[in-house]
Amino acid sequence: MTLGVVIVGAGGHAKVCIELLRAMNKPVAFCIGAEGSESSCLGVSVLQGDAHLEELRRAGYASAFIAVGSNALRQRLGALAKGLGYELVNAISPTAAVSPTARLGCGIAIMAGAVVNADTCIGDLVIVNTSASIDHDGRIGEAAHVAPHCGLAGNVTLGPRVFLGIGCKLIPGVSIGADVVAGAGSVIISDIPDQSRIAGIPAKNLQKKDKDK
C-alpha cells in the first residue's frame, strides 16, 4: 500500500494544492500546520508543528509537498523535508498546458489554466499560479512565485524567490534578480537587480523613490 502525500501547510494555498493532488489521483495523508491551525483542511487531518514532519517520515511516509505561500519559508521547509528523506512531488492541474520540452524541478505547483511553453526551466518549489503564462525559454529560479494572470514573454529569467504580483507583464529577454518583489500589474521592460521592490507601468524601483524623498 502506498502511503499518501504529507502536505506542509494548512491554509488557503494548501487547499488549492490538495485539490491539485487529488485531481492527479495522489492521495493526501496529512497536513502539517502551525500551532493554532484548524484541525482539518478540506477533510485532511491537520497536525500542528513541524516536528510531525520527522515523525511521519519515521512512520514510512515518503512523499511531501510544501504548500506555503512565503517563498523563503517554502524554500526552507523544502530543504528540511528533503533532508529528512522525503521526495517532493509536483502538483500540476490537469487544465494547465505544460510543454513536453519544459524541464520541471520538484515541489512545483502549476495551477489551473497556467501555460508553460517550450524549453522553459522551472526550478524547485516554484508556484505558477492560476492562468499565468511563461513563454518559450523561460528560466524560473527556485521558490519563485508567478502570481495569477502574469504574462512572461520569451527568454525571461527570474532569480530565486522572486515574487511577481497579480497581472505582471514582462517583455522578452528581461532578467529579474533574486528576491525581487513586483507589485500587482507591473509592466517590466528592463533588467531588475537583486532585492528590488518595484511597481508601475513601466515598473520603477520603489526603494530609490523612497530615498529621493
Active site residue ranges: 136
SS3 state of residue 193: coil
Location of C-alpha cell 525559454:
137
Task: List, as one string, the DSSP characters of 134-157.
Answer: E-TT-EE-TT-EE-TT-EE-TT-E
DSSP structure class, residue 81: H
Q: What angle do CA 139, 126, 186 make, to 5 degrees?
A: 70
If we measure between CA atoms, which residue out of 16, 54, 53 comes closest to residue 31? 53
Task: Please state, as a whole number, how many other Cβ atoms lie within 10 Å of the Cβ of residue 167.
Answer: 17
Closest listed residue to residue 159, CA positions, set 126, 132, 117: 126
